């Protein structure tokens, strides 16, 4: 278990580094004309060969899960489905019009919100349009996020017919008291049924999202959750730290008094990790585990693991295109985010405008630091030409990490040691000049441990 004194020392706000720079540090030096040109450039350089990885944000949920930090819209009115689907198709058409040929797709990920809020028919219309107006790479990767309570056989079958082979179910925790408190009630029987149905329909990868640090979680309650996980044997596990940001997500205030302490929270992770290893899961990177033979594990061992706004991925594509309200794109040369409001997003699409609301054009220095951070968070190692190229302040931080037993470094690079794995976000942060210069930004990030 991580040293308690080190947890206290390093449990500070830190980015999760699904992008670099992190979103609060974007320079917003981007307009729609620039975005079009950079997208065309990136597609010409990377997309024609690697294809586009497409993330589609489907924001609707029927009820609010109070722990959730995602951009969502709560409604039981399913008449909202087709107007939103229509907007997505028009946004896709905009990108198609920017290219001289049919776009090449490396894969599609449906995220939310709750993608399975949408009927199978609505999803079928969207996917037929996108796939019918694009060319697929040889082995595309299609995945979606499903809610165990409303993912039906028809959802699974429709998406399987479109080539979807991976599904991620948001479990969070099986304990009834925890579920009640975070307003995410889903009986074990529902999860078991949808997991078995997925496998029966040919899905080759089932992922469970679990969270540690939730209200009322204890080692005893977590033990029961992991016993149920062991019974179902999902192929992958994402075991995330609960991010408490009540100023941004007011629903989280309702259970503040019942959250575990920092030390208790870390103990939950360490014990959960130990149980997963006993079950045969191997650690991939920060918060992720998989059974032997999983493509993510192979990518880790082959040093081809990548990280973006969807987390760890095996996709080689440097072009991640986000569609839908609040969706974020990473086109290597720049980041861009769409309007967060559903109505504003749809109105801008209807007017034939780009829905982009903010972005960041990467500098050469940005790309250099991004490469180091990606290597640290994916491979636990990063290289440089010579130690002399690092600032004195950075070397001081590295020496401190080394003294704490977290890393080893020399003239050519840095290795994160076993004891340093829980603190990899802190180690990445040392290379991030934005965090050093912007003391106020820490308030927008969750705690590192």
Query: Per-residue pLDDT for the chain (449 aa), expressed as one digit of tens each?
Result: 567 788 889 989 899 898 999 999 998 878 889 999 999 999 999 999 999 999 999 999 999 999 998 999 999 999 999 999 999 999 999 999 999 999 999 999 999 999 999 999 999 999 999 999 999 999 999 999 999 999 999 999 999 999 999 999 999 999 999 999 999 999 999 999 999 999 999 999 999 999 999 999 999 999 999 999 999 999 999 999 998 889 888 989 999 999 999 889 989 999 999 999 999 999 998 889 999 999 999 999 898 888 888 888 887 678 999 999 999 999 999 999 999 999 999 999 999 999 999 999 999 999 999 999 999 999 999 998 777 888 889 999 999 999 999 999 998 899 999 999 989 999 999 999 999 777 655 557 888 77
- On whether the CB atoms of residues 408 and 357 are closer than 8 A, the answer is no
Class at the top of the CATH hierarchy for domain 31-361? alpha beta
Question: What does residue 238 show for φ and ψ, rounded to 5 degrees?
Answer: -110, 115
**DSSP structural state of residue 46:** I
**Which residue ranges make up each domain of the chain?**
31-361, 364-444
- Give the Cα separation of 140 and 133 in Å (integer): 15
- Give the Cα separation of 407 and 429 in Å (integer): 14
- Give the Cα separation of 136 and 159 in Å (integer): 16
Q: Which two tokens stand for residue 120?
A: 């199978």
Token pair 């019942």: residue: 258
- Give the Cα separation of 230 and 236 in Å (integer): 12
- Give the Cα separation of 79 and 86 in Å (integer): 12
Mode of pairing for the β-strands spanning 306-308 and 311-313: antiparallel
State whether residue 290 is helix, strand or coil.
strand
pLDDT at 2: 65
Q: Is the N-terminal amide bond of 439 cis, ω within 30° of 0?
A: no
Q: Which two tokens stand for residue 299?
A: 């990518």
pLDDT at 3: 75
Q: Where are the alpha helices (DSSP H) in 170-217?
A: 176-182, 188-200
Q: What angle do CA 382, 295, 374 make, to 5 degrees?
A: 20
* Per-residue CA distances from 395 to 372, 390, 400, 409 (Å): 15, 7, 9, 10
Q: Which two tokens stand for residue 309?
A: 């706004």
- Give the Cα separation of 107 and 118 in Å (integer): 20
pLDDT at 5: 86
Question: What is Dmax (Cα atoms) for the chain?
Answer: 61
Query: By CB neighbour count within 10 A (0-12 exposed, 13-18 middle, 19+ buried), where does 33 fall?
Result: exposed
- Give the Cα separation of 221 and 185 in Å (integer): 15
pLDDT at 308: 86
Pick 364-444's CATH classification: 1.10.10.920, 3.40.50.2300, 1.10.287.3510, 3.20.20.210: 1.10.10.920
Among residues 264, 282, 265, the alpha carbon closest in space to that of 273 is found at: 282
278's enclosing H/E stretch is helix 262-278
State whether residue 232 is helix, strand or coil.
helix
- On whether the CB atoms of residues 446 and 243 are closer than 8 A, the answer is yes
- On whether the CB atoms of residues 13 and 445 are closer than 8 A, the answer is yes
Query: By CB neighbour count within 10 A (0-12 exposed, 13-18 middle, 19+ buried), where does 138 fall?
Result: exposed
Q: Where are the alpha helices (DSSP H) in 291-361?
A: 295-301, 342-350
Token pair 């973006």: residue: 308
Residue burial 155-180, b: 16+ Cβ < 10 Å; e: rest = bbebbbebebbbbbbbbbbbbeebbe
- On whether the CB atoms of residues 342 and 81 are closer than 8 A, the answer is no
Give the strand order in the sheet containing 407-409: 381-383, 413-416, 407-409
**DSSP structural state of residue 65:** -
81-97 and 120-132 are packed helices; what angle lies between their axes, rounded to 10 degrees? Answer: 10
């Amino acid at each position: 278990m991580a040293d308690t004194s080190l947890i206290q020392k390093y449990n500070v706000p830190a980015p999760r580094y699904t992008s670099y720079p992190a979103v609060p540090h974007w320079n917003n030096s981007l307009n729609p004309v620039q975005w079009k040109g950079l997208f065309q450039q990136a597609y010409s350089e990377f997309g024609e060969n690697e294809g586009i990885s497409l993330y589609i944000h489907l924001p609707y949920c029927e009820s609010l899960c109070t722990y959730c930090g995602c951009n969502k819209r709560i409604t039981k009115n399913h008449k909202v489905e087709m107007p939103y689907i229509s907007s997505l198709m028009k946004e896709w058409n905009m990108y198609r019009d920017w290219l001289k040929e049919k776009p090449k797709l490396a894969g599609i990920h449906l995220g939310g919100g709750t993608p399975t809020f949408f009927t199978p028919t609505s999803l079928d219309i969207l996917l037929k349009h996108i796939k019918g107006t694009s060319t697929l790479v040889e082995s595309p990767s299609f995945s979606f996020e499903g809610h165990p309570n409303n993912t039906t056989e028809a959802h699974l079958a429709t998406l399987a017919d479109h080539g979807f082979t991976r599904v991620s179910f948001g479990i969070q925790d099986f304990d009834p008291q925890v579920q009640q408190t975070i307003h995410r009630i889903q009986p074990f029987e529902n999860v078991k049924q949808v997991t078995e149905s997925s496998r029966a329909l040919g899905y080759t990868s089932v992922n469970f999202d679990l969270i540690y640090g939730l209200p009322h979680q204890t080692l005893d309650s977590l033990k029961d959750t992991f016993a149920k996980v062991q019974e179902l044997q999902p192929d992958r596990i994402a075991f995330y730290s609960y991010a408490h940001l009540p100023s941004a997500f007011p629903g989280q205030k309702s259970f503040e008094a019942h959250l575990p302490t920092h030390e208790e929270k870390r103990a939950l992770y360490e014990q959960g990790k130990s149980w997963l290893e006993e079950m045969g899961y191997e650690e991939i990177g920060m918060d992720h585990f998989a059974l032997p033979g999983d493509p993510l594990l192979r990518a880790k061992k082959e040093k081809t693991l990548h990280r973006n706004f969807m987390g760890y991925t095996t996709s080689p594509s440097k072009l991640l295109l986000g569609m839908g309200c609040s969706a974020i794109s990473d086109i290597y040369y720049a980041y861009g985010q769409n309007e967060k409001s559903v109505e504003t997003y749809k109105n801008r699409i209807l007017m034939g405008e780009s829905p982009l609301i903010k972005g960041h054009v990467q500098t050469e220095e940005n790309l250099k630091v991004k490469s180091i951070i990606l290597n640290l968070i994916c491979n636990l190692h990063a290289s440089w030409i010579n130690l002399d190229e690092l600032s004195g302040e950075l070397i001081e931080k590295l020496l401190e990490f080394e003294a704490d037993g977290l890393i080893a470094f020399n003239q050519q690079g840095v290795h994160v040691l076993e004891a340093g794995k829980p603190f990899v976000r802190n180690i990445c942060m040392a290379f991030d000049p934005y965090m050093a210069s912007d003391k106020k930004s820490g308030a927008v990030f969750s705690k590192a441990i």
